[in-house]
Amino acid sequence: MSSKKAATLRVIVEVLFLALFVFLLRNRDLQRWFLIFGVGLLGALFLGRIYCGWICPMETLFRPIDWLYAKLRLKRLRTPAIFKNGVFRWTILILFVVLMIAVRVFKIKINLLLYITAFSVLVTLIFEEEFWHRYICPFGTLLTFFSKKPFFSMKVDKPSCVSCGICQKVCPVSAIEKESDGMKIDNSECLVCLKCKEKCPKLSITYSRSE
3-state SS of the chain is: CCHHHHHHHHHHHHHHHHHHHHHHHHCCCHHHHHHHHHHHHHHHHHHCCHHHHHHCHHHHHHHHHHHHHHHHCCCCECCCHHHCCHHHHHHHHHHHHHHHHHHHHCCCCCCHHHHHHHHHHHHHHHECHHHHHHHHCHHHHHHHHHCCCCCEEEEECCCCCCCCCHHHHHCCCCCEEEECCEEEECCCCCCCCCHHHHHCCCCCEEEEECC
Give the residue among 134, 132, 142, 52 at the shortest CA–CA distance from 97: 142
Taking only the tens of pLDDT, the chain with its 211 residues reads: 677 788 889 999 999 999 999 999 888 787 889 999 999 999 999 999 999 999 999 999 999 999 999 999 999 999 999 998 889 999 999 999 999 899 888 888 888 888 999 999 999 999 999 999 999 999 999 999 999 999 999 999 999 999 999 999 999 999 999 988 889 999 999 999 999 999 999 999 999 988 7
Domains by residue range for the chain, with CATH: 3-146 (no CATH), 152-209 (3.30.70.20)
Global model pTM greater than 0.75: yes
pLDDT of residue 120: 96
pLDDT of residue 131: 95
CB 97 within 8 A of CB 149: no
Give the residue among 59, 58, 68 at the shortest CA–CA distance from 116: 58
pLDDT of residue 2: 74
153 vs 191: CA distance, rounded Å: 10
| 171 phi/psi in degrees, rounded to 5 | -65, 120
Residues contacting residue 202 through CB under 8 Å, at least 6 positions apart: 160, 161, 162, 164
| Amino acid making up residue 69 | Y
